[in-house]
Structure 1
Amino acid sequence: MPTRTTPVTRRSTLTFALASALALTTAACGTPEDEGTENAGRAQPGTKGTKVNLSPDQKRVRAKKVDAIARLVPRRIRDRGTLEVVASAGSVPPLTFYATDDKTVIGVETDIAHLVADVLGLRVRAHAVDWANIFVGLDSGKYDVGFSNITVTEERKEKYDFATYRLDTISFEAKKGRGWKVKGPKDVAGRVIGVSSGTNQEKLLVDWSKQNVKAGRAATDIKYFQNTSDYYLALGSGRIDAYLGPNPVAAHHALSTGKTEVIGSFSGAGDGLQGKIAATTKKDNGLVRALHEALEHLIDEGGYGQVLRRWGLSDEAVRASEVNPRGLPKSS
Structure 2
Amino acid sequence: MTPRTARRRTAAALTLALAAALTACGEPDEPEGGTGGAAPGDSAGSDDPGVNTSPDQDRVRAEEVPEIAALVPEEIRERGTLEVVNSVGAVPPLNFYATDDETVIGSETDVAVLVGDVLGLDVSFSTVDWANIFVGLDSGQYDVGFSNITVTEERKEKYDFATYRLDSVAFETSVNADWTVEGPEDVAGRTIGVGSGTNQEQILVEWNEQNVEAGLDPVEIAYYANPTDYYLALGSGRLDAYLGPNPSAAYHARVSGETKVVGVFSGGGDALQGEIAATTRKDNGLVEALAAALNEVIDNGAYAEVLERWGLSDEALDASEINPPGLPRPEE
Q: TM-score, normalised by structure 2?
A: 0.81
Q: Which moved more, 1:69-78 or 1:205-214?
A: 205-214
Partners of 1:15 and 1:66 lie apart in 2 by 34
How far 1:107 sits from its partner (Å)? Answer: 1.1
The answer for unaligned runs of 5 or more in structure 2 is 1-35
Match of residue 6, structure 1, among 41, 62, 85: 41
Give the partner amino acid of 2:312: L
Match of 1:88 in 2: 87
How far residue 214 of structure 1 moved from its aligned partner, in angstroms, is: 4.2
Letter matched to residue 46 of structure 2: T
Contact 1:3-1:130 at 8 Å conserved across structures: no
Aligned to 2:15: none
Residue of structure 2 in register with 1:320 after alignment? 319
SS at match of 2:136: helix
Structure-2 residue corresponding to 1:271: 270
- Alignment partner of 1:15 out of 43, 46, 49: 46
Residue matched to 2:146: 147
Matches of 2:90 and 2:66, distance apart in 1: 36
State how far apart, in whole Å, the 1-side matches of 2:129 and 2:233 are.
21
Distance change in 2, residues 1:188/1:138 (3 Å) = farther
C-alpha distance in structure 1 between counterparts of 2:197 and 2:82, whole Å? 25
Cα distance in 1, alignment partners of residues 255 and 59 from structure 2: 23
* Cα distance per residue 1:267-290 (max 9 Å; x no partner): 222225332221112222221111
Matched, 1:173 2:208: no
What secondary structure is seen at the aligned counterpart in 2 of 1:117? helix
Identity %: 66
Asked if 2 retains the 8 angstrom alpha-carbon contact of 1:3 and 1:131, the reply is: no
C-alpha contact 1:85 1:147 (8 A) present in aligned 2: yes
Residues 45 and 251, structure 2, Cα contact 8 Å, conserved in 1: no
User: How far off its partner does 1:203 sit?
Assistant: 2.8
- Describe the shift of the 1:3–1:315 C-alpha distance in structure 2 as closer, same or farther (beyond 3 A): closer
- Greater share of residues in helix: 1
- The residue number in structure 2 matching 1:104 is 103
Is contact 1:172-1:265 (8 Å) kept?
yes
Q: Which residue is 2:4 aligned to? A: none
Residues 200 and 145 (structure 1), Cα distance of their counterparts in 2 relative to 1, 3 Å cut: farther
C-alpha displacement of 1:104: 0.8
Give the deviation of 1:227 after TM superposition: 3.8
Contact 1:97 1:105 in 2 (8 A): yes
Distance 1:5 1:91, change over 3 A: closer
Aligned-pair distance for 1:58? 0.4
Deviation sequence 1:134-190 (CA, Å, 0-9, x none): 233323333221112222222222222111111222110012333332222233344
Show CA shifts across 1:86-143 (max 9, x none).
Answer: 2221122122222111111111111000010111122111122233332333233332
The verdict on how the C-alpha distance between 1:157 and 1:226 changes in structure 2, with shifts beyond 3 A counting, is farther
**Is the 2:166–2:315 contact (alpha carbons within 8 Å) kept by the matching residues of 1?**
yes
Aligned to 2:21: none
Q: 1:128 — aligned with what?
A: 127
Residue 280 of structure 1 aligns to a residue whose secondary structure is strand
Q: Show CA shifts across 1:182-202 (max 9, x none).
A: 222233344332223444323
Local SS of the residue matching 1:178: coil
SS at match of 2:100: coil
> Counterpart of 1:290?
289
Partner SS, residue 46 of structure 2: helix
Contact 1:2–1:131, Cα closer than 8 Å, also in 2? no
* Pair 1:164–1:77, CA change in 2 (3 A): same
Q: Is 2:113 aligned against 1:78? A: no
Number of equivalenced pairs: 296
2:95 paired with 1:60: no
1:220 Cα offset (Å) = 3.6
Question: What one-letter code is carried by the residue in structure 1 that aligns with 2:133?
Answer: I
Q: List runs of 5+ in structure 1 lacking aligned partners.
A: 24-51
C-alpha RMSD of the superposition = 2.3
Cα distance, 1:260–1:83 mapped onto 2, change above 3 Å: same
- Give the Cα separation in 1 of the matches to 2:67 and 2:281: 23
Asked if structure 1 preserves the Cα contact closer than 8 Å seen for 2:45 and 2:256, the reply is: no
1:1-32 residue CA offsets vs partner (Å, 9 max, x unmatched): 2344436xxx4x7433x22xxx3xxxxxxxxx
- 1:255 and 1:275 map into 2 onto residues whose CA distance is 24
Aligned residue number for residue 42 of structure 1: none
Give the TM-score normalised by structure 1.
0.81
Question: Which residue does the alignment assign to 1:280?
Answer: 279
For the structure 1 residues 219 and 173, does the alpha-carbon distance in structure 2 shift closer, same or farther, using more than 3 Å as the test?
Answer: same
Q: 1:307: how far off? A: 1.3
Describe the SS at the equivalent of 2:142: coil
Q: Does the CA-based 8 Å contact 1:151-1:200 persist in structure 2? A: no
**Residue 257 of structure 1, CA deviation:** 2.1
In structure 2, relative to structure 1, the CA distance for the partners of 1:196 and 1:71 (3 Å cut) is farther
Matched-pair contact (CA < 8 Å) for 2:45–2:91:
no
Alignment-mate amino acid for residue 121 of structure 1:
G
